[in-house]
Amino acid sequence: MMRTFRRGIHPLENKLTADIPLQEFPTPDKVYIPLSQHIGAPAEAIVKEGDEVKCGTLIAAAKGNMSACVHSSVSGTVLGIVQRTSARGTPVPHVCIQNDGRYEQERLNILENPSREEIIERIKEAGIVGMGGATFPTHIKYQTTKKIDTLIINASECEPYLTCDHRLMLDETDEFLRGVVYLKKAADAARAVIGVEKNKKDAYIKLKEKAAGLGIDVRLLKTKYPQGSEKQLIYAITRRFVPTCGLPSDIGVIVSNVHTAYSLCRAIELGEPCYKRAVTVSGGGVEQKGNFFIRIGVPYGYIYEKLRGNMVEDDTHKILVGGPMMGIALHSLEPVTTKGASGVLFLTDKEFYHEKETQCINCASCVRSCPMNLMPLEIEACILGGQEDRLEKYHVQSCVECGACAYVCPAKRPLLQAIRLAKQTIAKRRTK
C-alpha cells in the first residue's frame, strides 16, 4: 500500500528532464565560491589573493559549530575575496578563483570501514550540508545524543521540474546506496528507509533490487506535494508526528536527502569534498534542458549562455533557483551555484503566473490543502486587518512555507507572503 500524509496538492509535474542522464558541465574561467552556502555562521576564508588551490582544497573553514567548510571547486589561483549578491539578493563574500583548466585534485584520506565518529568527522571536513535545499549542516544533525531508530532518505523530490535526485538514484545507484549505509551508521539507526514518490517508479524498482542486500528499505509514496517536506515525509513513513517546536530526532528519526548520501559516499570512498552537485536545468527559456554535475561557484549567467541554444534571450522572464513551489526568483544572472541549488529554471511568460488577486471567496481550499492544518485565509485576514492579537491564535510558526495554499487559491491571493509577514510580526511581538 502506498503511503502519504494528509491534505496536500497535485501541481503539474513538468518533469521535462527525467529521461536525461547526468552529464558533466563545463566550468568557466573564473568561479566565485560563496562563503555562506548553509544555514548558520558563514565560513571563514583561509586563503588570500595569489594562493594556489586545487579542486577540493579547503578555502574557508567552518566558524563555530553551526557552520560548514567550503572547498575550491577548480584548480588555479585565488584572485581575491569579492562581495557579490547571492540568490536572495543579499551581499555575500565570495572567493574568486582563476580556473587553470587542469582540475588537479586535492583529496582527503580515504576511509575504510569508518566508525560512527569518523563518518561524522568526515561529513564536517567535506563540508556536506543538507543538499535538498535546506543546507542545514549535516554533521550537526548526526551529532545528536538522542536515540535514533530510523534514518529516512528523502527521495520524494516533490517539486515540479526538478529531476536531479531522480537521475542520481538511477545513474549513481551504487554510490548512493553505499552513502545511505554510511548515513545509517552515522545515525546509529536500526533501519534506513528510502521514500520514493510514485512518479519515479523506475528508480524505485532499481533501488528495491539493489537495496535488498544492504538492509535498506525502499518505500513507494503517493505523488503529492509537499511529500518531501520533512515532517510530512516522516509521518508518511513512520506515522509519527514531529512535535510543533521539535526536531525529527525528538521522535527518533533523522531525514537526509539523496544527494547528501551520494556526496558522503564520495567523501568517504574517494576523499572528495563537496564541491560539485547535480543540478536540473529546465524551463522554456533554455534549449538544452538536462541534469548536470555543476561545480559550486558557476554563475547562472554562464549556465544560461551554455544551454540557451537558439532561444530568444528576452523570452526568459523569471529565473528560479530550486523548484517553482519554493524556489527563489533571481534578480540577475550574477548569483552562482551553491550546495543547496538543486535546480535552475529559466521560465518564459507562460510558465509562471501573472494573475491579479481578486477578493477572497472564503472557499477554504487553502485550509483543505494545508499539510500543517493551518488556516491561511484567516492569517491573511489578520495581517490585512492589522489584528495582531488575533494572529497569535493561528499557529503561524508551524507553517513550512510549502505554498500549497497560494497554489490552490482560486482568487490567486498571495497567502504565503501574508504568512511570512505574520511570522515576522509574531517574532517581533515575542521579542518585545
Partner 1 sequence: MKNLVVSSSPHIVSDRSTKKIMSDVLIALTPAIIASVCIYGLYSLLVLFLSIGSCVLAEFLYNLVRKKEQTIYDLSAIVTGTILALNLPPVVPFYVPIVGGFFAIIIVKMLFGGIGRNFANPAITARIFLLLSWGSLMTSFVSPVNFGEAGVMGLFSYFENIVNPNLPDAITSATPLAFAKGALQNGANPLENINMLDMFLGKTGGSAGEVSALAILIGGAYLLIKKIIDWKIPAIYITSTVIFTAIFYANTGYAGEYVYSYLFGGGLLFGAFFMATDYATSPNTFIGTIIYSLGLGLLTVLIRKFSPMDEGVSFAILLMNIVVPLLDKIIPKPFGAPKKTVKDLFLKLKTKRKSKDGEVCSTAAQISNSSVPFVKEEGGSDGKK
- Crossing angle for the helix pair 415-431 and 376-385, to the nearest 10 degrees: 60
Residue from 2, 110, 214, 427 binding partner 1 (CB under 8 A) = 427
Q: According to CB under 8 A, which residues from 205 to 234 bind partner 1?
A: 229-232
Q: Which of residues 254-293 bind partner 1 (CB under 8 A)?
A: none
Does residue 28 bind partner 1 (CB under 8 A)? no
How far apart (Å, rounded) are the C-alpha atoms in residues 417 and 422?
9
CB of 171 to partner 1, least distance (A): 27
**Rounded-to-integer distance, Cα 4 and Cα 222, Å:** 6
Residue from 324, 341, 380, 422 in contact with partner 1 (CB under 8 A): 324
Q: Pick the binder of partner 1 from 37, 260, 316, 338 (CB under 8 A).
A: 316
**Options 198, 208, 219, 318; binder of partner 1; rule CB under 8 A:** 318
**Residue bearing cell 502506498:** 2
- Note whether 195 binds partner 1 by CB under 8 A: no
H or E stretch including 98?
Answer: strand 91-99
Considering CB under 8 A, how many residues would be counted as binding partner 1? 96
209: Cβ–Cβ under 8 A, 6 or more apart, which residues? Answer: none
Query: Sheet of 343-348: strands edge to edge?
Result: 23-24, 290-295, 276-282, 343-348, 316-321, 328-329
Please give the residues from 356 up to 375 whose contact with partner 1 meets the rule CB under 8 A.
358-365, 367-368, 371-375
At its nearest, how many Å lie between partner 1 and the CB of residue 74?
25
Asked if residue 257 lies in contact with residue 166, where contact means CB atoms within 8 angstroms, the answer is: no
With respect to partner 1, which residue has the nearer C-beta, 41 or 45? 41
Show the binding pattern over residues 29-68: x = contacts partner 1 (CB under 8 A), - = does not. Answer: ----------xx----------------------------
Check: CB of residue 152 under 8 Å from CB of residue 261: no
CB of 53 to partner 1, least distance (A): 28
- How many CB atoms within 10 Å of residue 213? 8
Give yes or no for residue 11 binding partner 1 (CB under 8 A): yes
Residue type for 243, please?
P
Q: Which stretch binds partner 1 (CB under 8 A): 101-109, 147-155, 204-212, 401-409?
A: 401-409
